[in-house]
Chains A and B, each alone.
Chain A
Amino acid sequence: MIAEHLALFVASSLRLAMPLVFASTGELVSERAGVLNLSLEGMMLTGAFFGAWGSWSTNDPLLGLLIGVLAALIVALVQAWLSVSVGANQLVVGIGFNILALGATTLLYREVFGALSRDAIPGFGKWHVPVLGDLPWMGTALFQQTGLVYLGLGLLLVTWLALDQTAWGLAIKAVGEEPRAADQAGVAIRRIRYGAVLFAGGMAGLGGAFVSLGDIHTFTENMTNGAGYLAITAVIFGAWRPGKTFLACLLFGAATALQFQLPDMGVTVPTTLLLLLPYVLALLAVVGAVGRTAPPAALALPYRRG
Chain B
Amino acid sequence: MGGDAATPGSAPLVLDGISKRFGPVQALRDVSLRIAPGEVHCLLGENGAGKSTLCNIIFGTLAPDQGGMRFGAGPYSPDSPAAALAAGVAMVHQHFSLVGNMTVLENLMLGQVTGVPNRKAFAERIAELSGAYGLKLDVSRRVQDLSVGERQRVEVVKCLMREPRLLLLDEPTAVLPPDEIDALLAICRRVASQGAGVVLVTHKLAEISKIADRITVLRGGLVAAQASQPNIEIPALVQAMIGRELKSLDLVLAEELGLTPPPESEAPPAAPAHAHLPAETQEEPALMLDGLDFVDDTGVRRLDEVTLLVQPGEIVGLAGVEGNGQSELGAILAGLAPPSAGRVFVAGTEITGRSPAFITAAGAGIIPEDRHAVGCIPALSLAENLLLGSLSDYTRLGLLRRRQMRRRALELMAEFDVRAADPDVPFRTLSGGNQQKAVLARELNLRPLRFLLAAQPTRGLDVSAVEAVAVFLREAARRGVGILLISSELDELMAIAHRVAVIFRGKIVGESPAEPAHRQHIGALMSGHGI
Query: A residues engaging B (CB < 8 A)?
Result: 165-167, 170-171, 173-174, 177-178, 180-188, 297, 305-306
Contact = CB atoms under 8 A, between A and B. Distances in A.
A306 B99 contact: no
B381 to A, nearest CB: 25
Nearest to B119: A165
A186 B85 contact: yes
Which among A166, A167, A181, A182 has the highest number of chain B CB atoms within 10 Å? A181
B158 A178 contact: no
Given A167-B113, A183-B80, 14 more contacts: A166-B117, A170-B110, A170-B113, A177-B99, A177-B100, A181-B98, A183-B81, A185-B107, A185-B110, A185-B158, A186-B81, A186-B82, A305-B62, A306-B61
B53 to A, nearest CB: 10
A177 B144 CA distance: 12
B61 A178 contact: no
Contact of A185 (B61, B86, B97, B115): B97
A226 B212 CA distance: 65
A166 to B, nearest CB: 5
B108 to A, nearest CB: 9
B61 A305 contact: yes
Interface string B86-100: 100001010011111
B520 interface: no
A130 to B, nearest CB: 32
22 contacts: A165-B116, A167-B113, A167-B114, A167-B115, A170-B102, A170-B117, A171-B110, A173-B102, A174-B102, A177-B101, A181-B96, A181-B110, A185-B97, A185-B110, A185-B111, A185-B158, A186-B82, A186-B86, A187-B110, A305-B61, A305-B62, A306-B62
B82 A188 contact: yes
A171 B102 contact: no
Contacts of B93: 184
Interface in B119-170: 158
B396 to A, nearest CB: 37
A182 B116 contact: no
B62 A182 contact: no
Nearest to A306: B62
Contacts of B59: 184
A184 B96 CA distance: 10
A77 B113 CA distance: 27
Contacts of A297: 101
B436 interface: no
Given A166-B115, A170-B106, A170-B110, A184 B99 contact: no
A165 B117 CA distance: 7
Nearest to B85: A186
Contacts of A181: 96-99, 107, 110
B363 to A, nearest CB: 38
Contacts of A167: 109, 113-117
B56 interface: yes
A170 B122 CA distance: 14
A182 B99 contact: yes
Sorted nearest first, the 10 A-B pairs with minimum C-beta distance are A185-B111, A186-B111, A186-B82, A181-B97, A184-B97, A186-B85, A167-B113, A178-B99, A185-B110, A184-B81
Contact of B110 (A166, A182, A305): A182
Interface of B: 56, 59, 61-62, 80-82, 85-86, 91, 93, 96-102, 106-107, 109-117, 158
A306 B99 CA distance: 18
Which among A167, A170, A184 has the highest number of chain B CB atoms within 10 Å? A184
B100 A178 contact: yes
A184 B102 contact: no
Contacts of B107: 181, 185
B155 to A, nearest CB: 10
A184 B98 CA distance: 9
B61 to A, nearest CB: 6
B259 to A, nearest CB: 32
A304 to B, nearest CB: 11
A170 B109 contact: yes
Nearest to A305: B61
A184 B62 CA distance: 12
Given A306-B56, A306-B62, A184 B115 contact: no
B79 to A, nearest CB: 10
B103 to A, nearest CB: 11
Contacts of A186: 81-82, 85-86, 111
Contact of A166 (B86, B100, B116): B116
Contacts of A184: 59, 61, 81, 91, 93, 97
B82 A187 contact: yes
Contacts of B115: 166-167
Contacts of B111: 171, 182, 185-187
Contacts of B100: 177-178
A174 B99 contact: yes
Nearest to A190: B80
A64 to B, nearest CB: 34
A305 B93 CA distance: 14
Nearest to A183: B81
Contacts of B114: 167
A195 to B, nearest CB: 14
A165 B158 CA distance: 20
B282 to A, nearest CB: 51
A186 B91 CA distance: 11
A294 to B, nearest CB: 9
A40 to B, nearest CB: 25
Nearest to A167: B113
A187 B101 CA distance: 17
A174 B158 CA distance: 15
B376 to A, nearest CB: 22
Nearest to B81: A184
A120 to B, nearest CB: 44
Nearest to B99: A178
A173 B61 CA distance: 21
B81 A177 contact: no
